[in-house]
A and B are shown apart, each in its own frame.
Chain A
Amino acid sequence: MGENAGGVHCLKYGLTVHNVLSVKVVTIDGDITTMGSEALDSPGYDLLALMHGSEGMLGVVVEVTVKLLPMPLTKQVLMASFDNVEAGGHAVAGIIADGIIPGGLEMMDGAAIQAAEDFVQAGYDTQAAAILICELDGSAAEVADQMDAVKACLTAHGASAIQVAADDAERARFWAGRKAAFPAVGRISADYYCMDGTIPRKQLAYVLRRISELSAAKQLETVNVFHAGDGNLHPLILFDGNKPGQLEAAEDLGSEILQLCVEVGGTVTGEHGVGVEKINEMCVQFKTAEIEQFHAIKAAFDAQGLLNPGKAIPTLNRCAEFGRLHVHNGELPHPELERL
């Protein structure tokens, strides 16, 4: 709730905010109040939506009521290999253009495929520059129709190989590599730093190319896993914290990647939140008036700033300090602030 998280199913089934009916909240004044209800809407402002992703800044959520869905009757998982990431990105757009919203649609780049395969032996195509894992769910008839359409679409977009999982065990194996991608990367690098930007999907090829250039400039490697359906990119920056300067270089690279996400029309965090770590990048994404509006919302709930102080929303002074270092395209961020 605090980060409005969403996993592999969220393109079809929504984020946390789409699946929570109500929350019980303790306010900073010590009152207990309920936001939302088991009905499909409630009178007044949508405080329930506002609580989602608010990182504990507005109140203490002590109880959550979620909507449940019946398990899908049928599931099919297929995996397609591509010789380049761009073709994989186009295939994702093609599936959606065909009117299909898969239950899951994930992409991994070559480095992520290799790391996952070495770790769990999922049967991934380690020659591929990218693989797409696509899960279709629904009634048997619906899934059969969609499988045919997706296979045709992947082929038309140049998939070099397509495998369809034969049974539950194989479906689990296809997913195992993706789900183990983070620990798999942990095996090949002393440390890794996981980023969480979201981008318009059409920018994928450009963003991955820029990430690779930015990484090379820092002499670091980056491995990419991508919630392809919804544009949420998780670049994993590999570094060794025991080597002097590498942690700082990884942090700088992470910040550059997030600023790249904003530049192409995306956001600095899809689901992992801002906390204190991404707070400087908030200054890149939002203007002064917007940041002031966020502070006013915070003050409406917690005038003294007692809940999670310093998180989620930067002070304008912090933005000025950060901005002094990062003049973007010659534009000074928050120019109205006095520079010291």
Chain B
Amino acid sequence: MIKKLHKDLLENYPLLWNLRLPGIFGTLAIFHLIHFLVGYSMYSGEESMRWHNPEGMYFSTSFCLFSMIGSSVIFILWFIRVFRNNAFKSFYPIGNGKLFQEFMVFFVVCLLNITCYYSYTFGFVFHARNNTNNSENKKDIEVYNSVIAFLQNNKDAYRLEGRCYPDPFPLTKRYNENVRYAPSDQVPKSDYYFVSRDGRKFSSAEVDVLTGGVEYSYLNNCNFYSMYIHNESDRYSSNSEQENEHYKTRLVTTLNNPEELKANMAAFIKLCDKHNISYQLEVDDWFKWVYNPPYFPVNYLIFHKYYYPGQYPTPNLSDASVIQASLQLNPKSYFVEVSKLQNILQSTQRAYDYSFELAPFLGFLYAALFMSIMIFTFRATARRTWMIALIGSALICLIIGALTAVLAFGGGKDGILYFYLLVILSFILIHFISIRKTVSGVSLIWFVWSLPYAFVILLGLLENNFDKDYFQTYFLVCLLIYLMALRFFIVPRFRAWQAMPEN
């Protein structure tokens, strides 16, 4: 069958045969399948979710290195086979359309070759989705989020500076002008004051009245954004301040409803059991430490990891007063593997939220475009000309860099950008006016290489504050324009150059 396919392609579709299209597409399909299967096999239950984030795990494993090596080997072998025949350089009747088709094949092959990441990630996500329950995970996240504010192991999370309700909070601490630098804990209360967002001043004594003199309180924990597990839409549509506002409201509601608080704590302990999370914590004790209305002081911090006998608390837990108080209250050391639980729940949610994102894919498109341009120019020109262009481009970059530095002193950003555009246009001008084939070829190659950057430069000239959507649209439009320019202007120039006699 392979022989028949080979014969059919050779006799009827010489371009496809020359580019070894079935071979390279078949190889890349297998390569992607391998990535999918490896990604699939990387999911081995909750333990794998503990260590890996579905979106980034490809780059964090050694398989990424093997993948890059494999990808390069496939590419080089294909490259060697393709370059065995070159109808264009042999002056066979190859039209502009055929030449452009060659470029498009290079582009697609390059794109497929560098996007194995997607197959790998889809494999992992696919397996994870098949072995977890999204709605159940969402409920687990709800339980986790409902008590995480009482599980912070950093006392700074409960400082007064973090409090944001009721009015006049949040307050900013200001030191009197005569206060010299000293650790904040050692500065006397008379040496600082507080300012609300609307500019009202409060003395330390006034604030003490509002807080009952409690500096570390569960009510102060308004900045635990990073500990919460957010859903996909929250991550992109909300900012941390809005998020905190939302969780703060929930926190206050919970603290005002002790039965719900205790129920949530019990649910959390069950959640730990369900996900094999190590802990040493009892609901009654935990509730007792947390539920101390009206000021809800923090008397005890719970470790986030295993506590081994003889192990001393980590420095950020060593606030003397808090630790001493807590140790007196609870001679046992309590801990919960919170980060493990967070990773499991979060990674599982990301596996469900994972979808194709255009923004990172544009990066792959850009890389594929760069690679295909390099290959195309190599194939459509003489080896010597291409090498001169490659080496010369380093020199050109140096010269342009030096001139940019000069321009930067005299003019603004626009002047530099106009200068870059001028350089790019001068390449095509030199191509047309030079009667020396090598010079004409090198300038043509430089023009083709630099043209995509012209769009970036134009973007800089046109728009100063472009957002993601604008950039994506602009990029796609530019890609389309570039391909059109290639088809109707650049490819015919390569054809004309190839036929040009030498001097």
Q: A and B bound?
A: no
Q: Which residues of B contact A (CB under 8 A)?
A: none
